[in-house]
Amino acid sequence: MSEGTSAGSRPDEAGHVIPFPSPGAPPQVAFQRDELRVIFNLYGRRVAEGEWRDYALDFRRDKAVFSIYRRTSEMPLYRIEKDPKLARRQGAYSVIAASGQILKRGSDLARVIAVLDGPRAV
């Protein structure tokens, strides 16, 4: 190894050090296309009913979060979270209310978010 480089980097042609992810770093967690389709089907119905108005996606190293808002300037009404670390124990998916209460948790996304599809989810 030359001076100025480490095991997690390499120099380019100009001599600048280019870092690259270490092999032990976990990948970023994200929703798959079919998961997003299920979420957006519910979201679209609730927007059409006038209940929800905005959403946000947050992809972290440990979990992916779909936040649902009544108004953009408020705290999210609900969060749909995908946490792969919990997949074998409690299920990777959960729906969390604004208060922090877990409304439903499980391994089947459609069944978990069905808690929000009722006549009036609190």
User: pLDDT 10s digit of each residue in the chain, 122 long?
Assistant: 445 544 555 555 666 665 555 566 567 888 999 999 999 999 999 999 999 999 999 998 999 999 999 987 778 999 999 999 988 888 899 999 999 999 999 999 999 999 998 765 44
Would the pTM count as exceeding 0.75?
Answer: no
| Residue 103, domain member (yes or no) | yes
| Residue 11, domain member (yes or no) | no
The pLDDT of residue 5:
47
Q: Cα(18)–Cα(8) distance, rounded to whole angstroms?
A: 9
Asked if 24 and 7 count as a contact pair (C-beta separation under 8 A), the reply is no
Asked if 55 and 36 count as a contact pair (C-beta separation under 8 A), the reply is no
The range of the structural domain enclosing residue 82 comes to: 33-116
The pLDDT of residue 86:
87
Q: What are the φ/ψ torsions at residue 110 (nearest 5 degrees)? A: -60, -40
Q: Cα(54)–Cα(119) distance, rounded to whole angstroms?
A: 19
| Residue 41, domain member (yes or no) | yes
The pLDDT of residue 103:
95
The tally of domains found in the chain comes to: 1
| Residue 4, domain member (yes or no) | no
| Residue 84, domain member (yes or no) | yes
H runs (alpha helix) in the chain: 33-48, 109-113
| Residue 15, domain member (yes or no) | no
| Residue 89, domain member (yes or no) | yes
| Residue 7, domain member (yes or no) | no
